[in-house]
Copies of this chain bind each other. A is one copy, B any other.
């Protein structure tokens, strides 16, 4: 549906990609709110005016980056949820997947972490809405597990939010460790596994609210 195979379209997509990549690269040590149109186009190798052929705003570029970043996150979450196995193996798999995802999509993850509470309302809201959808998805997956037999919808939702928040915290921690001590990464992974084990223990003894 989105093929648009013309040469024209292909070249336009290429420029758009260059702008997104330039933005993502510059946002490694900068905020979206402090980014400049000229800055982005300079990095992308285009003229300033060219930017407006693709986005009306820098906020629009930010929203586009949110969609990109969350698409890959979505794939990651599904890959954890659909795996079956005992609680222990599931925890190990989940932490591994998070760790690898942060490594392989560092710029996107950093962008999300930085702009989640950043100064651009549109972007903030886009991220939060999508994280809410993630929580709903996690909640549905949890409902299918036998451990959640007698759980109310509200309790399932709060558990899902706890998991999502924990995932976000862990990903942020991995991000900071990434560019400093590589040994710290293992400590973070170990801590995250322990925390998930503790939560899992609480789940098994939960008796409703």
Contact = CB atoms under 8 A, between A and B. Distances in A.
A117 B119 contact: no
A46 interface: no
Interface in A161-209: 161-162, 165-166, 168-169, 172, 176, 191, 194-195, 197-206, 209
Contacts of A203: 198, 202
Contacts of A159: 195, 198
Contact of A31 (B113, B119, B166): B119
Given A31-B31, A31-B34, A198 B199 contact: yes
Nearest to A209: B194
Contacts of A205: 201-202, 204-205
Contacts of A118: 31, 114, 118
Interface in A99-143: 113-114, 116-119, 121, 128
Nearest to A203: B198
A33 interface: yes
A89 interface: no
A165 B166 contact: yes
Contact of A33 (B33, B155, B169, B206): B33
Contacts of A202: 198-203, 205
Nearest to A28: B119
Nearest to A198: B202
A155 B194 contact: yes
B119 A158 contact: no
8 contacts: A30-B33, A31-B119, A34-B119, A113-B117, A118-B118, A158-B195, A194-B209, A199-B199
Contacts of A162: 166, 195, 198
Contacts of A200: 202
Most B Cβ at <10 Å: residue of A157, A201, A204:
A201
